[in-house]
Amino acid sequence: MIPEKHPRRVSLEVRHKLVDGFKKGLVAQAGLIAQGRGEAFDYLVGEKTSVIARKAEEAAVALMLLAENPVISVNGNAAALCPGEIARLASLVKAKVEVNLFYRSVEREKKIANVLKKAGVKKVYGVASKPKKIAGLQSNRRMIDEALWNSDVVLVPLEDGDRTEALVKMGKKVIAIDLNPMSRTSRKATVTIVDNIVRAMPEMVKHAGKLKKADEKKLRVIVNKFNNKKNLKNAEKLIRKSL
């Protein structure tokens, strides 16, 4: 369908995957708009994983491996775009996987859970659950599953600013994947990966494969060397240079 030589073929293929997820009821309308915002920022970072992003991806994996109870919190877009990588990363770093939707419906939760299970996730949390509420948040996303409530490190690909801030206030370490280095999510997260989720997740799986047998000391060195503020500044610079 997309001409082989189209200058932005990969980006269009990703878009088709998302539209397909929309048709299947995984992705919300707002998820399509969010995809477009992501495309624009991806274009500005050159549609490739930068050295800056790679550092954050490594630090994020080290943080997950050091965690007592890491959780990957999945929305419709993440499930539509990279269910296989979510399953592999969860298995490698021993993370729980929970579904967490802004536009919540049990039907959509179940569909997303099915896609994740098919991709290899053994247990999916947050489906038709009686969730706990995060104080001070208005949207549906204040509802979080028992799994997330008890977590110490949370990977939230494609998160909104309010919820990231709330999770950080709860004392959790938050890893965000966000192509806009100036967003509230990016500024509030503990580790911000300024990369497209379709590249970031495979990269994280690779790092997890390499690091899963590393000792605690090595992992701590990686985490301690990483400076999120500095890394975000560098991501901003990268965009400025691309213009």
Binding residues (CB under 8 A) for a second copy: these are: 3, 7, 15, 18-19, 22, 29-30, 32-41, 43, 138, 180, 182, 184, 236, 239-240, 243
The CA distance from 55 to 68, in Å, is 22
Alpha carbon 151 to its chain centroid, in Å, reads 16
> What single letter denotes the amino acid at residue 24?
K
E strands within the chain? 70-74, 96-99, 124-125, 132-133, 143-144, 153-157, 173-177, 191-193
Residue 141 DSSP symbol: G
Q: How far apart are the first and last CA of the chain?
A: 30
CB of 160 to a second copy, least distance (A): 11
CA geometry: angle 232, 61, 32, nearest 5 deg? 65
Residue carrying the six token digits 């890893």: 175
